[in-house]
Amino acid sequence: MRRFSIFALVVFILAVGGLFALGPSGTQRVQNSFLGMITPFFKTGSDLERKITAVRQGLKTLQEVEAENKQLIVSNKELQVVNQTLRDLEAENNRLRLAMQYRERAAFQLVPARVIARDASSWWNTVKIDRGSADGVESDMPVLTESGLVGKTTFVSEHAANVLLISDENCKVASSIEGSREQGIISGERASGSSQPALCMRFLSKTANLKSGQKVYSSGVGGVYPAGVSIGAIKEFRVRELDGYATLVPAVDLTTLEDVFVVLGKK
């Protein structure tokens, strides 16, 4: 170990002596060569430091990520609401367009009306519409949609009217059946609680032999309802003691009534 120290000292003395012997220009060349050798290492270290700094600056904190995630969730819900609104508007537009097309080609003089009130206690019995005597509406006028018969007006005020639905047992419609000479009376059949009442056709012959799906239309007998308005389709036919009896699937979905027409008369 001592020998190595002496050797290192001798080398150092010789190196220092060599630098003095070279003079200023030689010393400068040695310094330049030395700096040239170590500069790449400093440069590499500097580039690495800059890259690390850039990565640190590019990384977001956990709080920032959570805040952005919450904002994205809110934006997504807002878009869902907007999309649903647009779908509802499209459905309403299509429904109104079909209604207007029906009004144009109908053989009746029709007044469009909107359902404005419906009592839960009489859900299947009556609705209130926003047309009254000021619009030419009177009691006992048929009410329908482009799909079929809804009922008839009862009490009429200046700007509103009550409509008795065909699902009420007091609303009776003389009817005929497609592809058959059978005729009968359609009315609602009272149901227990708030369940939907059945739409029934009575006074059919026992030999009617009706099939499921046969269409039923108003016959025009009685003078209130015009002939040829769709009421529904046969669901089931059975024979009772005195007559034939059929249950019907209504042509109009009475649970979702919104827009209707009041028949003022023929065009």
Kindly state whether residues 73 and 88 are assigned to the same domain: yes
Residues 177 and 194 reside in one and the same domain: yes
**Does a structural domain hold residue 162?**
yes
In-domain check, residue 111: yes
Quote the pLDDT of residue 75: 77
Same domain, 175 and 160: yes
What pLDDT does 77 receive?
Answer: 75
Q: Residue 186 falls within a domain, yes or no?
A: yes
First-to-final CA distance of the chain: 126
CA–CA separation, 244 and 129 (whole Å): 35
Looking at the fold, whether 123 and 237 belong to one and the same domain comes out as yes
Which has the minimum average pLDDT: 39-43, 127-131, 226-230? Answer: 39-43
For the cut 60, the answer to whether the pLDDT of residue 45 exceeds it is no
pLDDT value at 30 more than 60: no
Residues 117 and 76 in one domain: no
Averaged pLDDT score across all residues of the chain: 79
Q: Looking at the domain assignment, is residue 178 inside a domain?
A: yes
Q: What stretch of H or E contains 99?
A: helix 62-105
- Residue located via tokens 């220009």: 25
Residues 131, 227, single domain; the answer is yes
Quick one: pLDDT band at residue 66, thresholds 50, 70, 90? confident
Same domain, 145 and 231: yes
Q: Which amino acid is at 17?
A: G
Are 140 and 244 members of one domain?
yes
Same domain? 153 vs 222: yes
Alpha carbon distance 60, 69 (integer Å)? 12
Question: Does residue 256 form part of some domain?
Answer: yes
Higher pLDDT, 50 or 108: 108
The number of domains in the chain is 2
Of 90, 105, 120, which closes a domain? 105
Range of the domain at 65: 61-105
- Point out the domain boundary residue: 70, 105, 140: 105
Q: Specify whether 128 is located in the same domain as 208.
A: yes
Tell me, yes or no, whether 99 lies in a domain: yes
Q: What percentage of the chain carries pLDDT values higher than 90?
A: 42
Please identify, among 72, 105, 138, the residue that sits at the C-terminal boundary of a domain: 105
In a domain, 9, yes or no: no
Residues 86 and 131 reside in one and the same domain: no
With CA atoms as reference, report the closest residue to 110 among 132, 139, 142, 140.
Answer: 142
Q: Is the pLDDT of residue 195 over 80?
A: no
For 155-199, give the secondary structure using H, E and C. EECCCCEEEEECCCCCCCEEEEECCCCCEEEEEEECCCCCCCCEE
CATH of the domain at 162: 2.40.10.340
Whether residue 56 lies inside any domain: the answer is: no
One domain for residues 74 and 177? no
